């Protein structure tokens, strides 16, 4: 009778510990990386292009959009979404699926008008 009681007590302790461990895991997984953003979208600009023709993000995602100018001074304007200055970042939530034009928002010289890319929210 005593053995059964000890066994039950031990079982209870194990179950409680397991439940706590699981709760802790869930909490960590849900924690945002920085601010409200769940990740970063890095766009690198040079004279006179962006490092990718297309950047894809998931609908509903909040990302810290970072513009890095490796050559020249460039910024970005994402049509209908917002702007990020040279070597700056901004947090945006991509609610509506679609294709948005990315252009340079700094008058940067002869190739300025050709600095174009697409942001695809899918």
Q: Alpha-carbon distance 31 to 27, whole Å?
A: 6
In whole angstroms, the minimum distance from the beta carbon of 77 to Cu ion comes to 10
Say how many residues touch Cu ion, by CB under 5 A. 4
DSSP 73: -
Q: Does 108 bind Cu ion (CB under 5 A)?
A: yes
Of the candidates 85, 35, 91, the one whose C-alpha atom is nearest the C-alpha of residue 62 is 91
Q: Does 112 bind Cu ion (CB under 5 A)?
A: yes
Q: Alpha-carbon distance 60 to 63, whole Å?
A: 10
**Binder among 65, 78, 104, 121 for Cu ion (CB under 5 A):** 104
Q: Does 121 bind Cu ion (CB under 5 A)?
A: no
> Which chain residues interact with Cu ion by CB under 5 A?
104, 106, 108, 112
């Amino acid at each position: 009778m005593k053995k059964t009681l000890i066994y039950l007590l031990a079982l209870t302790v194990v179950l409680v510990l397991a439940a706590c461990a699981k709760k802790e895991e869930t909490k960590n997984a849900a924690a945002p990386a920085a601010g409200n953003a769940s990740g970063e979208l890095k766009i690198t600009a040079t004279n006179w292009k962006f490092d990718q023709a297309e950047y894809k993000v998931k609908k509903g995602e909040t990302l810290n959009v970072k513009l890095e100018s490796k050559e020249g001074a460039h910024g970005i304007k994402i049509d209908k979404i917002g702007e990020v200055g040279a070597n700056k970042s901004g947090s945006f939530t991509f609610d509506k699926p679609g294709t948005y034009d990315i252009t340079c928002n700094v008058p940067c010289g002869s190739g300025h008008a050709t600095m174009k890319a697409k942001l695809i929210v899918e």
